[in-house]
Structure 1
């Protein structure tokens, strides 16, 4: 009873006593970080990230202590490497940046090869889409690095990647160092001086490729994923450990060794150039490409991808440790250019009976050839593949074009593997997409990818889990590029020392990364973009005012 009485009396006393407001001094806003580090992991889908996030203990684990957006979107339909990388540091969707695909067709090009590679300059004599001069001319918008340089020309921008299109599309038109792997060695624009870290890494990679690679040790977590799957009667994958013969540069590229080297190059250039150690904020960009090469050649599941995820986690940790040693106040953003879809043979084994390869007799070329034959023409009247952009022969009359388009729509639409066909007129007439990207219609997704003069006369969407590789072979068993969320959804992670960690489950877009980083350094976005600034911290020091 005494206890009950004392509690009742105490509660009554508290109710009768007015609360006294405690004045909390406002925290001073944090100064801008001196170095922004932006990392793209090619083909790191949100699904793949979710599968392994509980196992990370290195660089990914650090990023998971910051701002986590597990449902980021490459919201457009053309979920390929070049468009995806172009969104990350421009804040612009392909419909604004002009980067609608890895390759598109220009039937009016003044060369025999009408295919245009996204990161080439086709005006250079003797070039082709497979033998090209790397260039930024097709990127129609500036990047974060260019915004930063416009405000402070002393800003240094460094972009290194496993692919030229990744380095170019994230670095933009004004870079201090731009390096990529060209299949044989590290390369840059002609006439550029080679800094010591690049020379050292070139020698290191050459020595590494010259030596055979022993099978990697299999962590217990990966053992459950180690199971050989028959892709063809003579090809089984899924239980590999990245053993490599001496001199096999192609196998090196599709292995954890590749990302380790590219990330180490980024760390070396940051150290040699003393990035973040001057009065201005600098920008270091790294494109890790091995996950994509592994995904294409070995699929997104199996022991191979498991080993890659663990190795990438360690390599990211090494990069961050190197930056820590410099004492620089740096902030990190990590995302991906697109997701990925596993090979159908393993998907069917994992309770996805509708997973299939595209009909080998089905393509724009085959349909166009049949239509042309009925018109008495020798050349196909359609140019394109099994999905995506399809172009109609420009030499046709208006009436002929209309007839070809109508028949093409009917033929594509009748195929059981096709979800939908959209005309250029439909796409152009559609309003710009709004709202959460997961709610966008297929037309909205096509709209976000459409750029007049580069996109097709028709855009074809395959049904879910239809892999547009009719016949698998070494190096190419699985892919991406669809309208579907397994290709659109990617993680977006932000980290800075002292940052309050949080997780935001609602969807955001990769076009939000550039304005968010601009807000973090107090930079006003100087151009019209598609993205928005994301709040990374609540209260004083919030990135978005």
Structure 2
């Protein structure tokens, strides 16, 4: 399928004459193009599970500098915070992106929930129907730093989700596009260039055709059994059959990433990225693995097919770039990991797996606290779900607030599914973490995604193997967002033609990616402005971080 879409899109721009072979990483010559790829919910476990079967793009990247134990080191392992770390070199405590959404009781609208990539000051914007914006990202991305140093740099971001494109491209990208039911869109008022119009035309043509589904690769056969998550719902045996016109089914399938990669390849060629004296950068957010993981879990045929197709599609994408003779460096990582649905875990040797108790939902918790304190339950405690940040009603007096906090802490700390609850004062008093991310304590992980302005009054962390979804009969059956390694660990893979392959199994952080890439192009980044460090990509005595 990718081959057909990719071939069609690339007819839009003529093939250039092949350039000379790319310089190896150790040559000291900066690459002409940086390609930063985030595969949403591509955990280190998922990468390792299928590693013996890669034949395409993931096999190529596995022959570069491989850090299989990368970390989204913070506790709030969600899409927006994770993407905010990849090209800023900064943890969410510095980027300000503490979650996909947070509560702002001072917001001048009825909806007090703020989506991470919205401008809530715009008339009519809400957390579910918003005006997209990068205003909440407090630090510059690599592309923004590159443009500040050399205005000729092109900084492009293309993704399946708006928050992926915005958090990787930053506030001053030349182009930011993300997928919607109408095709690829950008900020309000941005004109649609001819290339994007043509991409969207092809997208609509693809959407109008049904998809008979994908064949089951041999490595997926053992996963082909149904798992019942509700009386009328099973998952685990899907092939991504799609009726004509069903955007929701297109989005929750390998078709989504195929389209995004085809668009990115066409943009690189049509814009001549990597063919001028300066280094350009393109960020690519591949979102299908996440949508599939939520809808079907991470261990059925659906996820297995998706990883196989991702490998193939990345191979076709890199092959097209090779035909142009581009000198490019790739980094591939993920915004977070993921945890499979408890019903399948229970069948596969993990009977202790559970879904979260509905008593931990903010509304239920508010009623329980109100019963203990004699206060009104409505609006007493606000939150986005049965874990994460909890906010007390800002209209409480200091005495009332103290009573509510004490009652809430007592209830939560007595609950058998709760691992820890931290107060805002505890988190504010905790120093920013340092050292190997695999050795951090829970409060250090929480501190890495704490912002005194946006974080809640309490932070609720569930025990391992508790899925924070109470009802899987509709919507998501599995998720992420915990402080545990299933959600924190992600692969970090660097590749450039001619580089010597090596693997480093010790823990590194996604915030290390930006300074590593900056060193390759000779871009100075003050250490005081970031949390990450440069990773040496040259096996042996040479050092790609020398002087950094």
Q: TM-score, normalized by length of structure 2?
A: 0.93
CA–CA separation in structure 2 for the residues paired with 1:137 and 1:35: 27
Q: Would you say how many aligned residue pairs link Structure 1 and Structure 2? A: 519
CA–CA separation in structure 1 for the residues paired with 2:131 and 2:242: 31
Q: 1:78 to 1:28 in 2, by over 3 A?
A: closer
Is 1:383 paired with 2:364?
no
Q: Which residue of 2 aligns with 1:528?
A: 529
Q: Which residue of 2 aligns with 1:346?
A: 344
Q: Which has the larger radius of gyration?
A: 1
CA–CA separation in structure 1 for the residues paired with 2:301 and 2:64: 29
2:224 and 2:236 in contact (8 A); partners too: yes
CA–CA separation in structure 2 for the residues paired with 1:66 and 1:116: 39
3-state DSSP of counterpart to 1:224: helix
The CA deviation string for residues 272-316 of structure 1, in whole angstroms up to 9 with x for no partner, is 000010110000110000000000000001111111011000110
3-state DSSP of counterpart to 1:145: helix
Q: Which residue of 1 aligns with 2:265?
A: 267
Q: Which residue of 1 aligns with 2:11?
A: none
Report the alpha carbon displacement of residue 182 of structure 1 after superposing the two structures with TM.
Answer: 2.6
Q: Which residue of 2 aligns with 1:129?
A: 127
Q: Which residue of 2 aligns with 1:42?
A: 40
Could you tell which deviates more after superposition, 66-75 or 354-363? 354-363
Report the alpha carbon displacement of residue 474 of structure 1 after superposing the two structures with TM.
Answer: 4.0
CA–CA separation in structure 2 for the residues paired with 1:273 and 1:294: 32
3-state DSSP of counterpart to 1:131: coil
Runs of 4+ in 1 over 6 A off after TM superposition: none
Report the alpha carbon displacement of residue 487 of structure 1 after superposing the two structures with TM.
Answer: 0.2
The partner residue of 1:542 within 524, 541, 544 is 544
Q: Which residue of 1 aligns with 2:20?
A: none
Report the alpha carbon displacement of residue 378 of structure 1 after superposing the two structures with TM.
Answer: 5.3
The partner residue of 2:355 within 333, 354, 357 is 357
Q: Which residue of 2 aligns with 1:459?
A: 459
Report the alpha carbon displacement of residue 136 of structure 1 after superposing the two structures with TM.
Answer: 0.3
Task: Report matched runs for 1:147-226 at 5 Å.
Answer: 147-226=145-224
CA–CA separation in structure 1 for the residues paired with 2:26 and 2:499: 14
2:40 and 2:286 in contact (8 A); partners too: yes
Report the alpha carbon displacement of residue 503 of structure 1 after superposing the two structures with TM.
Answer: 0.2
3-state DSSP of counterpart to 1:206: helix
Q: 1:58 to 1:377 in 2, by over 3 A?
A: same
Q: TM-score, normalized by length of structure 1?
A: 0.93
Q: Which residue of 2 aligns with 1:495?
A: 495
Report the alpha carbon displacement of residue 462 of structure 1 after superposing the two structures with TM.
Answer: 0.3
* Aligned-residue RMSD, C-alpha: 1.3
2:42 and 2:289 in contact (8 A); partners too: yes
Task: Report matched runs for 1:280-299 at 5 Å.
Answer: 280-299=278-297
Report the alpha carbon displacement of residue 450 of structure 1 after superposing the two structures with TM.
Answer: 0.2
Could you tell which deviates more after superposition, 378-387 or 409-418? 378-387
1:419 and 1:463 in contact (8 A); partners too: yes
3-state DSSP of counterpart to 1:361: helix
The CA deviation string for residues 77-102 of structure 1, in whole angstroms up to 9 with x for no partner, is 00000000000000000000100000
Q: Which residue of 1 aligns with 2:244?
A: 246
Q: Which residue of 2 aligns with 1:22?
A: none
2:64 and 2:496 in contact (8 A); partners too: yes
Report the alpha carbon displacement of residue 372 of structure 1 after superposing the two structures with TM.
Answer: 3.0
CA–CA separation in structure 1 for the residues paired with 2:171 and 2:217: 42
3-state DSSP of counterpart to 1:33: coil
Report the alpha carbon displacement of residue 248 of structure 1 after superposing the two structures with TM.
Answer: 0.9
- The gaps in structure 1 that reach 5 residues or longer are 1-26
- The gaps in structure 2 that reach 5 residues or longer are 1-24
CA–CA separation in structure 2 for the residues paired with 1:328 and 1:380: 56
Report the alpha carbon displacement of residue 499 of structure 1 after superposing the two structures with TM.
Answer: 0.3
CA–CA separation in structure 2 for the residues paired with 1:476 and 1:398: 39
Is 1:476 paired with 2:470?
no
Q: Which residue of 2 aligns with 1:368?
A: 366
Is 1:415 paired with 2:415?
yes
Report the alpha carbon displacement of residue 207 of structure 1 after superposing the two structures with TM.
Answer: 1.2
CA–CA separation in structure 2 for the residues paired with 1:435 and 1:517: 21
Q: Which residue of 2 aligns with 1:139?
A: 137
CA–CA separation in structure 2 for the residues paired with 1:276 and 1:95: 33
Q: 1:376 to 1:35 in 2, by over 3 A?
A: closer
The CA deviation string for residues 409-456 of structure 1, in whole angstroms up to 9 with x for no partner, is 111111111101000000000111121111111100110010011001
